Amino acid sequence: MQIQATDQSHDGPSNKPQVDTPVLAKLDIPLFYATERGPIPWQHSVFCGKAFAETVLTECEKLFQDNNYGLVHIGVYNPRQARHKDGTPIIPIRWSNHAYGEAMDFKGVYTDNGNGEFLGIARMKAEIPGFLNSLHTACETAVTAINRKPEIVDEGDWLHLGIWPSR
């Protein structure tokens, strides 16, 4: 992975939180964005906080390379308030980990280094549960190692892989 320092994002509302040490992370694995019609190649670097790149993204990259998987997601940086799976706000209202560039909604894997088939979370649970357990453990261990609190939530159709805001 190549991690390059960058400026704050200009997206979102003016009162959004600042991303701590913003970076662009270019992963050495195939990335896909999940759309309603299925995953499409995502040729962009990931805008996020350096801590997220050095923990969650680094662990994802290692595991995905070891298993020849492409990563399918439905978002990383998004300057918005925290909400439940159904879209209702979390009370008390707070900024989402996504607003700090420290969370990803992980949708599944593409087999054969991104050239095979898409396995969403339900299929992963049925067919490759060991991989999901390894992903959870690796991310949790890496985040804890930097004295931060992991926030890993099974949302049913996706996994929220994040770092609890330090603010």
3-state class (DSSP) for residue 88:
coil
Query: Which residue type, as a one-letter code, is found at position 3?
Result: I
DSSP 101: T
- Give the number of other Cβ atoms within 10 Å of residue 38's Cβ: 9
Q: Model confidence over 6-51: pLDDT tens digits?
A: 999 999 999 999 999 999 999 999 999 999 999 999 999 999 999 9
**pLDDT > 70 fraction of the chain, expressed in percent and rounded:** 99
Question: Minimal CA–CA distance to 99: which of 161, 35, 25, 11?
Answer: 11
Question: Minimal CA–CA distance to 53: which of 79, 90, 27?
Answer: 27
DSSP notation for 35-72: ETTEEEE--SPEEEEHHHIIIIIHHHHHHHHHHT-EEE
Handedness of CA 85, 57, 140, 51 (dihedral sign): negative
Give the pLDDT confidence score for residue 10 in this predicted structure: 94
**pLDDT > 90 fraction of the chain, expressed in percent and rounded:** 92
Distance CA 94, CA 90 (A): 7
Distance CA 57, CA 152 (A): 14
pLDDT band, very low/low/confident/very high, at 83 (cuts 50, 70, 90): confident
Give the pLDDT confidence score for residue 85 in this predicted structure: 83
pLDDT higher than 70, residue 108:
yes
- Cβ contacts of residue 115 below 8 Å, gap of 6+? none
Give the pLDDT confidence score for residue 112 in this predicted structure: 95
Mean pLDDT of 62-86: 94
Give the pLDDT confidence score for residue 167 in this predicted structure: 67
Give the pLDDT confidence score for residue 35 in this predicted structure: 95
Give the pLDDT confidence score for residue 165 in this predicted structure: 85
pLDDT higher than 80, residue 166:
no
- What's the chain's average pLDDT? 95
Cα–Cα distances in angstroms (integers) from residue 99 to residues 7, 20, 49, 51, in the given order:
15, 11, 10, 14
